[in-house]
Structure formats: C-alpha cells, structure tokens
Amino acid sequence: MVDYAVLNTGRKMPLIGLGTWKSESGKVKEAVQYALEAGYRHIDCAAVYGNEAEIGEALQEKLGPDKGVKREEVFVTSKLWNTLHHPEDVEPALLKTLGALKLDYLDLYLIHWPHAFQRGDTFFPKSEDGTLLYDHIDYKETWRAMEKLVEKGLVRAIGLSNFNSRQIDDVITIATIKPAVLQVECHPYLAQTELLAHCRARGLVMTAYSPLGSPDRAWKHPDEPVLLEEPFVKKLAEKYGKSPAQVILRWQVQRGVVTIPKSVTESRILQNIQVFDFTLADEEMQAMGSMNKNWRYIVPMITVDGKSVPRDAGHPHYPFNEPY
C-alpha cells in the first residue's frame, strides 16, 4: 500500500507520512493512532510543535512485538529547534525528544532551520521590545554534533529543513555523514523544481511540508491563491474520482517527493494515503509543475512600521533571501 523513497543510508522512507505541526494537543494522539491503523508507517514530529509527549503515548500504545506494528516498521522524524544549535545542546535536545516520544532511536533527525535563536529554554526568546533574540552560531558546527548522534546509534539518519541550495552544499563540504533529507515547503505553487534537482544530484531525498498550502494557518492573506480551489486540480480530481488533495499528493509522490500532510480528521487521514491506486499522465504531471508561482505560504512575518515583513530576514543564515 505504501511506497518508499530510498535514503543514501539504504533505508526506506515511506512517501506519505502524517504531519503533526499545528495538531492540537488532545487530538494528535488519536490522529497518530488512527494513522497507524490506516496503514501509515511514517510520522513527522518536531520539538517546537509542543505535542511530542502525546505522540509518544500513541506510539507506546501502538508499537511493539505484540501490538501488530513493530517499531522498526515505522519511520519517525523529529527536528532540532533553533535555540539548541550549540554543539553541546544537540544530544540533550535529542534525548528530550526521545524521552517524549518514548523511543530508543529516531529514524531521522533534522536541523529545523539554518538560523539560530539565543540559547535557552524558551522556544522564541525575545527582548523587552518584543523582537526575537538571535544567535549567529554556524550550522556547520551543529551538523558535526548531529553526526555524533548517528555514531552513537541514537538516530539512523540526519538531514536539514528549510536550508537553501548554497547552505546544503556548505554542509556537504564538511560532512563525514552526508545529509539524507531536505524538508521544505513544497506544493504546486512552490514546486521547488530547481531545489529538487539540486537535492537529487547530491543524494538527498526531498520531503514536502504544507503540501496542500497549509489552509489552517493563522496569518493568511485575504488575497492569496487557494491551492485546493485551483481549477486544473479540480478537473483532474473529477477525472480520476479523487479529491483535489489526493491529486496534489499524487503529483508529489509520483515525482519521488516524500509528503507529510497534516490532519486530525480520520476521513482525511485515510484519504491522504489513498494515492497509490492511480497515476497522472506525463502531461498532467508537467501541467501541475507549471502552476508554480514561487508562492511561499510559510514565512514567519512581523509588522514593522505598518508593513508586513519576514521576521528573520536580517539573520545572516536566513534561507529565503536566495532564489532556491
């Protein structure tokens, strides 16, 4: 039922996983349990989502030799947050995540963003005037600490999230263990074609977050395009007897991109994995890719002098100041 991407470590990563960003506590445990029952074998987590303990309860109840799903059958990802980029903070951060998830190891651990925030226990450290406090540590130092986690058997693979092409290459120049995955926002309006080719050439698998355009975000623009309302997507959905969401997810998996749609609704969780029983024609794949507008939904914004501007754009490691 589930198809896989193969990582540069030789391990398989299921092409569809359950995303858990913005999954409210009280709902995420049931969502993870239902997903595992529905055939999902890939769960995407992060410390900053604030729900790893609840996901851990679900995993504890569902995984085990006598519970129908073995630990080694499920691919679990988590991410190192921006306040923990100093090398000595990396292993403690991972151990905290493992404790919350009730696991002995992760299948994949990602550096969540290339730019760091000031060290400490607060996810978003701020000065008195409300501006974020940054740290300028080089992510290459963080990467070396990530490699040690693989050597210790605490994680099976390591990777990057929200890094641009130059930053990926920068990490590769010093890496003894190469990044296996790049996770970025990706959907037909942000097709990431150049970045995908860049990753392929370097042996990285791409994972798409917000693959449906993240319709439940807090900071929507009233005039932004709505991916699920796109006429061509709706036309294909009608043709194949699928939903617009399933067409979009099919486009991603058909081009080998791992995709992690988030839902806490059982019917949608099930629908999102039912994308392996139809195939888009080549010209339909191309047409989907040509809908690209380089439209990024997920950019943390702040208001400065009445204008909305990217919050972290002044940081030297901010990834989105470059084309890809």
Instruction: Report strand pairing: 181-185 vs 205-209.
Output: parallel
- d(C-alpha 286, C-alpha 292), whole Å: 11
Structure tokens belonging to residue 9: 């470590």
Amino acid at site 96: K
Which of 95, 115, 92 lies closest to 106, judged by CA?
95
Catalytic residue set: 49
Find out whether 267 and 243 touch, Cβ atoms under 8 Å.
no
* Tally of CB atoms within 10 A around 219: 11
Helix, strand, or coil here: 200? helix
Q: How far is CA 128 from the centre of its chain?
A: 32
Find out whether 158 and 108 touch, Cβ atoms under 8 Å.
yes
- d(C-alpha 179, C-alpha 311), whole Å: 27
- d(C-alpha 140, C-alpha 119), whole Å: 17
Amino acid at site 175: A
* Tally of CB atoms within 10 A around 249: 27
Find out whether 98 and 105 touch, Cβ atoms under 8 Å.
yes
Find out whether 317 and 139 touch, Cβ atoms under 8 Å.
yes
